[in-house]
Amino acid sequence: MDAIRQRKLIGLIGLGVRGRGAVIGVQQVREAARRGKLQLAIAAPDASSNSLDKVLPLLRARGIAVFAGPPATELGSAAGRETAAVIGIVDKGLAKGIRALGPETLADVR
């Protein structure tokens, strides 16, 4: 992903977090997926395999798209945290905007 699209992605994530259209962290993403609220997920490619192993199988089983985002520190910074392994998007409009950026799926990167 080029720098401009990554900046736009980070901006959209920040907007989603501030507007409560996104959930942060493995546990909250898992809960949103179980409840059927999750539209898509953005995972940090450098997140620990332990964290990703807790959430990726559930997301794949539910058919939820998982996109590769920026590194965990940048992903966390967009969400107002130090780091974040995964962020889930629950707002349909925000998910559509993120898909329009054309991010790579995590399987393509990892």
Q: What is the pLDDT of residues 12-21, one digit of tens each?
A: 999 999 999 9
- Mean pLDDT over all residues of the chain? 92
Higher pLDDT, 65 or 109: 65
Range 63-76 average pLDDT: 94
- The CA-to-CA distance between both ends of the chain, in Å, stands at 14
Higher pLDDT, 23 or 107: 23
pLDDT at 105: 81
Model's pTM, two decimal places? 0.89
Give CA angle at 11 (7, 16), nearest 5°. 150
Provide the pLDDT confidence category of residue 107 given band limits of 50, 70 and 90: low
Phi-psi region of 93 (alpha: psi -120 to 50; beta: other; left: phi over 0): alpha
pLDDT for residue 40 is more than 70: yes
Of 12, 11, 1, the C-alpha closest to 94 is 12
